[in-house]
C-alpha cells in the first residue's frame, strides 16, 4: 500500500508531465477531453457515434486505456476514429506519461479534438491530470442512480456528466432528477446531458458542447 508521501510524489510527478502536455495542446489549439466511467457505461459507443457525427468537419483522434486487449481501439478505428491503445497490464488509470508516450507512437498529426478514453473506473482516474481541458463522467441508467454521492471525487471534478443509455429508462429504476440533484450539489456548474447512441438523444447537444469548447479554447467567438 502506498504511503501518503509516496502518493504525493507520484501525483506531483504526474502533474508536471500533465502541465507539459497542457502547454503542448494549448500551442496546437487541440481540445483534450478525458472520459471517465465504470466499465460498460458506453464510452466507446459514445465515441463511435461522435466520430460519425463529426466526420469530415473536425480532425479527431483517441487514446484508449484498458487493462488488456485492443478491442476498444479496434472498434474506434473501424468507426473512422484514429486511435492508439494503451494497455496498462493491471493499472487502474492512465497517467500523463502514458498519454505522452502514446502520442509519440501514434503520430496523429494536427488535431482539433483528442479524446482520452480512460480505464473503466470511477475512482483512480479522477486524481490524475492528463493535460486535458476537462474531464467528463459517464453514468449509464443501468448502473443505478446512487453513484454521484458514492463516488464524489469524479463527480465533483467533471465539468460535464453524461447520463447514457437513456433509451432504457422505461425499463430500469433510475431517477434522473435525483442524479441531477446530486451532481449539481457536488459541482454546481456541471452540465448534465441525457444521451443515447440508439435513438441519438442528446448527441447533437454533446457535439455542440465540443464545438463550443473548441471555439473557446481557440478564442473564437460564436456568432448567431
Split at pLDDT 50, 70, 90, the class of 150 is: very high
Answer whether 71's CB lies under 8 Å from 78's CB: no
Is it the case that residue 140 has pLDDT exceeding 60?
yes
| Tens digit of each residue's pLDDT (9 = 90 or more) over 23-51 | 999 999 999 999 999 999 999 999 999 99
**What's domain 31-214's architecture?**
3-Layer(aba) Sandwich (3.40)
pTM: 0.94
What pLDDT is attached to residue 221?
Answer: 59
| Tens digit of each residue's pLDDT (9 = 90 or more) over 84-125 | 999 999 999 999 999 999 999 999 999 999 999 999 999 999
Is it the case that residue 168 has pLDDT exceeding 80?
yes
Cell numbers for 140: 449509464
> Per-residue DSSP letters for 77-144?
HHTT--EEEEE-TT-SS--HHHHHHHHHHH---S-SEEEEE--S-SSGGGG---S-SEEEEEEEGGG-
What pLDDT is attached to residue 4?
Answer: 86
Amino acid at each position: 500500500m502506498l504511503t501518503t508521501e509516496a502518493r504525493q510524489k507520484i501525483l506531483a510527478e504526474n502533474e508536471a508531465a500533465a502541465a507539459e502536455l497542457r502547454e503542448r495542446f494549448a500551442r496546437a489549439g487541440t481540445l483534450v477531453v478525458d472520459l471517465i466511467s465504470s466499465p460498460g457505461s458506453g464510452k466507446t459507443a459514445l465515441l463511435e457515434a461522435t466520430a460519425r457525427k463529426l466526420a469530415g468537419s473536425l480532425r479527431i483522434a483517441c487514446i484508449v486505456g484498458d487493462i488488456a486487449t485492443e478491442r476498444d481501439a479496434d472498434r474506434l478505428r473501424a468507426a473512422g476514429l484514429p486511435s492508439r491503445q494503451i494497455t496498462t497490464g493491471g493499472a487502474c488509470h492512465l497517467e500523463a506519461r502514458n498519454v505522452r508516450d502514446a502520442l509519440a507512437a501514434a503520430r496523429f498529426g494536427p488535431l482539433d479534438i483528442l479524446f482520452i478514453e480512460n480505464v473503466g473506473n470511477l475512482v483512480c482516474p479522477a486524481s490524475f491530470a492528463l493535460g486535458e481541458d476537462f474531464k467528463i463522467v459517464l453514468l449509464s441508467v443501468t448502473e443505478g442512480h446512487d453513484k454521484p454521492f458514492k463516488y464524489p471525487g469524479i463527480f465533483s471534478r467533471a465539468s460535464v456528466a453524461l447520463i447514457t443509455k437513456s433509451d432504457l429508462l422505461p425499463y430500469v429504476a433510475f431517477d434522473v432528477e435525483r442524479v441531477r440533484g446530486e451532481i449539481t450539489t457536488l459541482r454546481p456548474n456541471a452540465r448534465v446531458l441525457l444521451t443515447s447512441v440508439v435513438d441519438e438523444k442528446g448527441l447533437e447537444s454533446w457535439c455542440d458542447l465540443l464545438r463550443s469548447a473548441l471555439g473557446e479554447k481557440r478564442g473564437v467567438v460564436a456568432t448567431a
